[in-house]
Chains A and B, each alone.
Chain A
Amino acid sequence: MPGIDDITNANLIALDLDATDNFGAIDALAELLDRDGRLSDKDAYVQAARAREEETGGTGMEMGIAIPHAKSGGVREPAVAFGRTPAPIKYGDEDADLIFLIAAPEGENNLHVKILSRLARKLIHEDFRASLREAESPEEVMELLRREVQL
Chain B
Amino acid sequence: MKFVGVTACPTGIAHSAMAAEAIEQAAREKGHDIEVEIHGAMGAEFVSPETIRDADAIIFATDANVADKQRFDGKPKVEVKLREAIDRPGEVVARAEKAAERKAGVAAGGAAGAAGVSDEREEDDDLLASGGGTSKGAEVRRWLMTGVSYMIPFVVAGGILIALAFAFGDTVGVTESNVYENFTIPALFFEIGATAFGMLVPILAGFIAYAMADRPGIAPGIVGGLLANEIGAGFLGGLAAGLLAGAVVMLLKKIKVPGAFGKLMPIIVYPVVGTFVVGAVMILVIGNPIAGATTGMQNWLSGLTGANAALLGLILGAMMAADLGGPINKTAYAFAIAGLAGGAFGPMAAVMAAGMVPPLALALACAVRPKLFTNSERRAGQANWLLGASFITEGAIPFAASDPLRVIPAMIAGSSTTAALSLLFGATLRAPHGGIFVIGLIGNWPLYLLAIAIGTLVSAVLVIALKSFGTDQKAVEEATTSKTTEEKAAATA
A contact set with B: CB distance below 8 Å = 52, 56, 59, 61-63, 67, 69-71, 100, 102, 104, 108, 110, 113-114, 116-125
**Closest-CB distance, B266 to chain A (whole angstroms):** 29
B87 touches A69 (CB 8 A): no
Q: Digit string of B1-32 for contact with A (CB within 8 Å is 1, else 0)? A: 00000000001111111101110010000000
- Find chain B residues with CB under 8 A from A59 CB: 15
B11 touches A71 (CB 8 A): yes
- Find chain A residues with CB under 8 A from B12 CB: 113
B87 touches A120 (CB 8 A): no
Looking at the complex, which of B37-45, B193-201, B313-321, B401-409 is the stretch in contact with chain A?
Answer: B37-45
A67-B15, A71-B11, A102-B13 are known contacts. Are A117 and B38 too (CB-CB below 8 A)? yes
- Find chain A residues with CB under 8 A from B41 CB: 104, 108, 110, 113
Q: Is B83 an interface residue (CB 8 A)?
A: yes
- Find chain B residues with CB under 8 A from A61 CB: 18, 83, 86-87
Could you list 23 examples of A-B contacts with CB < 8 Å?
A56-B63, A59-B15, A61-B18, A61-B83, A62-B86, A63-B87, A67-B15, A71-B13, A102-B14, A110-B41, A116-B13, A116-B14, A117-B38, A120-B14, A120-B15, A120-B18, A120-B21, A121-B18, A121-B20, A122-B21, A124-B18, A124-B22, A125-B25
- Find chain A residues with CB under 8 A from B63 CB: 56
**Closest-CB distance, B29 to chain A (whole angstroms):** 12
A120 touches B11 (CB 8 A): no
B83 touches A121 (CB 8 A): no
B18 touches A69 (CB 8 A): no
A117 touches B87 (CB 8 A): no
**Closest-CB distance, A85 to chain B (whole angstroms):** 19
Q: CA A69 – CA B42 in complex, angstroms?
A: 16
**Closest-CB distance, A33 to chain B (whole angstroms):** 15
- Find chain B residues with CB under 8 A from A63 CB: 87
A61-B87, A62-B87, A124-B25 are known contacts. Are A113 and B13 too (CB-CB below 8 A)? yes
Q: Please indicate which of the listed interface residues A56, A59, A117 has the most CB atoms of chain B within 10 Å of its own CB.
A: A117
- Find chain A residues with CB under 8 A from B20 CB: 121
- Find chain B residues with CB under 8 A from A56 CB: 63
B22 touches A119 (CB 8 A): no
Query: Of the candidates A70, A100, A117, which one forms a contact with B17 in the assembled complex, judged by CB atoms under 8 Å apart?
Result: A117
- Find chain B residues with CB under 8 A from A102 CB: 13-14
